[in-house]
A = this chain, B = another copy of it.
Amino acid sequence: MTDLIVTTYDWVPKVPRGYVRDLRICWALKEAGLPYRVETTPFATREADHLAHQPFAQVPWLTDGDMSIFESGAILLHLGHRSDNLLPDDPQGRNAAIAWVIAALNSVEMASVPWSLFHFSGDVGESAAWTRTDAFLQSRLQRLETVLATGQWLAGPFCVADILMADVLRLVDRFDGLAAYPACRAYVGRAISRPAFLKAHAEQIAHYEAADRSRA
By a beta-carbon cutoff of 8 Å, the part of chain A in contact with chain B is: 51, 55-58, 66-67, 69-74, 77-78, 91-92, 95, 98-99, 101-103, 105-107, 109-110, 113-114, 117-118, 121, 123, 127-130, 132-133, 136, 140, 143-144, 146-147
Contact = CB atoms under 8 A, between A and B. Distances in A.
A141 to B, nearest CB: 10
Given A123-B129, A129-B118, A129-B130, A105 B105 contact: yes
A99 B74 contact: yes
A143 B50 CA distance: 12
Nearest to A57: B143
Contacts of A129: 118, 121, 123, 127, 129-130, 133
Please name the 9 residue pairs, one residue from A and one from B, whose CB atoms are nearest each other, closest first. A71-B102, A73-B102, A74-B99, A129-B129, A105-B106, A74-B102, A114-B114, A56-B143, A74-B98
A69 B99 contact: yes
Contact of A98 (B66, B78, B147): B78
A72 B102 CA distance: 8
Given A129-B129, A133-B114, A95 B107 contact: no
A146 B118 CA distance: 29
A30 B106 CA distance: 24
Contacts of A106: 71, 73, 105-106, 109-110
Contacts of A58: 107
Given A56-B103, A67-B91, A114-B114, 14 more contacts: A55-B103, A55-B143, A67-B92, A70-B103, A71-B107, A73-B105, A105-B105, A106-B110, A109-B110, A110-B114, A114-B133, A121-B129, A129-B129, A129-B133
